[in-house]
Amino acid sequence: MPEIAEIARAVHFLRLHLVGKTIKTATAIEDANVFGKVGTSGPEFAAAMKGKKVLSAGSQGKYFWLVLDKPPHPMMHFGMTGWIHIKGDRTAYTNYYKRMKPEEIDEWPPKYWKFQLKTEDDPAVEVAFTDPRRFGRVRLVDCPGESIRKFSPLVENGPDPVVDTDIFTEEYLEKKMRSRHVPIKALLLDQAFLSGIGNWVADEVLYQAKLHPEQYCDDFSDAEIKELYKSIRYVCQLAVDKLGDSDEFPEHWLFNYRWDKGKKGKSSHLPNGEKLAFVQVGGRTSCYAPNVQKKTGKVAPGIKEELIESEEEEAESAKTKAKKPAKVKAAKVNQEEEKPSKRKIKDEEDEDEKPPKRSKKAIAKKTSTPANGVKSGYFESADASAEVPPGRRRSGRLQGR
């Protein structure tokens, strides 16, 4: 999802090409998600844009807008895959174009467009908003242009750490952290607390501040809060200054290594040798360095850490697992020699009970893939009347209840 830096990039190109121009034509398709879910429609949006002069462009966190000479003004959010394109210029960052087919890069209008604008100039400036997954939102805000941030949806969002440095202070951060009891990663993702920080920015901020993502936000020391504030300002400002171009991010940033989870041939360590791990916090996957970001206070319970293993480590782990059956077999031989009591044998069988043998039909049904491509997550017997081993009960699901 585009975050604070990517939004700054989009606004940069709108100011460069569109601000000061008059829109001659506007076209928008009818999309019940992109327009409809925020109270407008494609035709209504196009009518509001036609003939208007663009006075300025601005942003707050993940939202950006155009101020026209007359209201209503367009307010946009990229969602997961939205972007602004300008004909004849490449507005996106390098990785964006790497995911596209060569013939699609300069195609106009671009694929998945939702609206197009064309100015009166000669040559005209042409702008398009695209969104393949349709989680983006385009709305109209009917208010004075200079007061747009006092209206919904901006008024419900927290300060922008780059734009609103007069509001986002160390005191503001401390007050908010002391008044909440959630993992610090979850707090950073809360747009009502601070606008513009998404998953990768939050991970980078916490890595630079050496704070654990699971730790409760109200259980940090004053010194740690001070480091967090400095880290938020540093990461957000630098990312915005670079217009979200990851090719220009510092080599030591976590950003450059956090995307390689599970990829063959990729390193499981940072250049300084620190190992990486993943946890689920606030409904999002968090990447962090356990030996750098140590827990210094209370953490949310039940969160499972998953270390990234290199190919060498995976091979070593596989060797270790391969040795375990031999040990188990040897243990069983010893048990037979010692001839333990029946009760002891029963307890051991309960701990490592083997599943009943299944017919070939049952195995085929379990491993087959349905037409929709989704494999069944449970075993379903091919013969509901098959004999059940002693001591076992057939579940209602297998009996067709």
Within 10 A of 401 (CB to CB), how many other CB atoms are there? 7
CB-based burial of residue 250 (10 Å sphere; 0-12 exposed, 13-18 middle, 19+ buried)? exposed
For residue 13, give both structure tokens.
């190109």
- 3, 6, 126, 204: which one is catalytic? 3
Residue 21 falls in the annotated catalytic set: no
**Could you tell me the CA-to-CA distances from 344 to 339, 347, 350 in Å, in that order?**
10, 5, 10
The dihedrals phi and psi of 377, each to the nearest 5 degrees, come to: -90, 5
Q: Is the peptide bond before 153 cis (omega within 30 degrees of 0)?
A: yes
For residue 119, give both structure tokens.
């100015």
Chain center to CA of 159: 21
- 6, 21, 52, 62: which one is catalytic? 62
Q: In what order do the strands lie in the sheet with 73-77?
A: 54-60, 63-68, 73-77, 137-141
- What is the rounded distance in angstroms from the CA atom of residue 152 to the CA atom of residue 256? 35
Amino acid, res. 284: R
Amino acid, res. 275: K
Nearest one of 19, 11, 130, 128 to 60, comparing CA atoms: 11
End-to-end Cα spacing for the chain: 43
Provide CB contacts within 8 A for 215, sequence distance 6+: 183, 184, 295, 296, 297, 298, 299
- 2, 74, 183, 213: which one is catalytic? 2
- What is the rounded distance in angstroms from the CA atom of residue 113 to the CA atom of residue 268? 38
Residue 24 falls in the annotated catalytic set: no
Residue 62 falls in the annotated catalytic set: yes
For residue 55, give both structure tokens.
């006075």
- What is the rounded distance in angstroms from the CA atom of residue 343 to the CA atom of residue 25? 85
For residue 344, give both structure tokens.
């002891």
- H/E run at residue 287: strand 284-288
Active site residues per annotation: 2-3, 62
